[in-house]
Amino acid sequence: MSNVRQAFTQRVTSETRIDVELSLDGNGSSRISTGLGFWDHMLAQLAKHARWELRLVCAGDREVDDHHSVEDSALALGECIDRALGERRGIRRFGSALAPMDEALARAAVDLSGRPFAQVRLQLTRERIGDVACENLSHAIRSLAVSLRATVHVEVLYGENNHHMAEAAYKALALALREALTRDSHSDIPSTKEAL
């Protein structure tokens, strides 16, 4: 089992160009530039609270809207995490967390199962937060789950301020991922199937 859990992913389409560099065993530092301030903020929350070192640069067709930049950067990030995990040996596999932010409370549960599925209920009531459509904040979590090949459940339990609700959800997801990605004392693949 390799001690280095790092990866690089590049995603190039007619709509976006994205470069992602990731170390799963970092200090929470990030350099993120997508041209979308609130999306940069959410990606920074993931890196900080999952304790990654993350560099993500996205040049997208923002003249159309924010959808392609958000979706494709989530897909690229999930692929990069998947690559850094390799065979997924010696990890806890499961993670769950609650994260409060002022009046908002969110929970997340993750299974690095190899089977992509996402249940996302952010309960946001605004159309946009900053320069990002609220629907894309949910869609990004689903996209991440697909390319990471993980089962992901994220739910905002309650809240009033949509910024707080979204940030609590991304922090909860980061904390759940941090737990699931943590190495344990075993070197096996944590599955009775012996494959993830």
* % of the chain at pLDDT higher than 90: 91
**Which letter does DSSP use for residue 6 in this model?**
E
Give the Cα separation of 12 and 120 in Å (integer). Answer: 27
Both structure tokens of 169: 């959800």
Give the Cα separation of 173 and 158 in Å (integer). Answer: 16
More reliable by pLDDT, 83 or 185:
83
Please say if the pLDDT value at position 1 is more than 80.
Answer: no
Query: Each residue of 178-190: pLDDT tens digit?
Result: 999 999 988 888 8
* DSSP, residue by residue, 21-62: EEESSS-S-EEEE-S-HHHHHHHHHHHHHHT-EEEEEEEE-T
Give the helix, strand, coil percentages of the chain, each rounded to 5: 35, 30, 35
Both structure tokens of 56: 């993500």
Domain residue limits, the chain: 6-181
Average pLDDT of the residues in 149-163? 98
For residue 173, which of 106, 108, 118 has the smallest C-alpha distance? 108
**Which letter does DSSP use for residue 91 in this model?**
B
Please say if the pLDDT value at position 2 is more than 90.
Answer: no
Handedness of CA 123, 102, 105, 39 (dihedral sign): positive
The CATH code that applies to domain 6-181 is 3.30.230.40
The pLDDT mean for the chain works out to 96
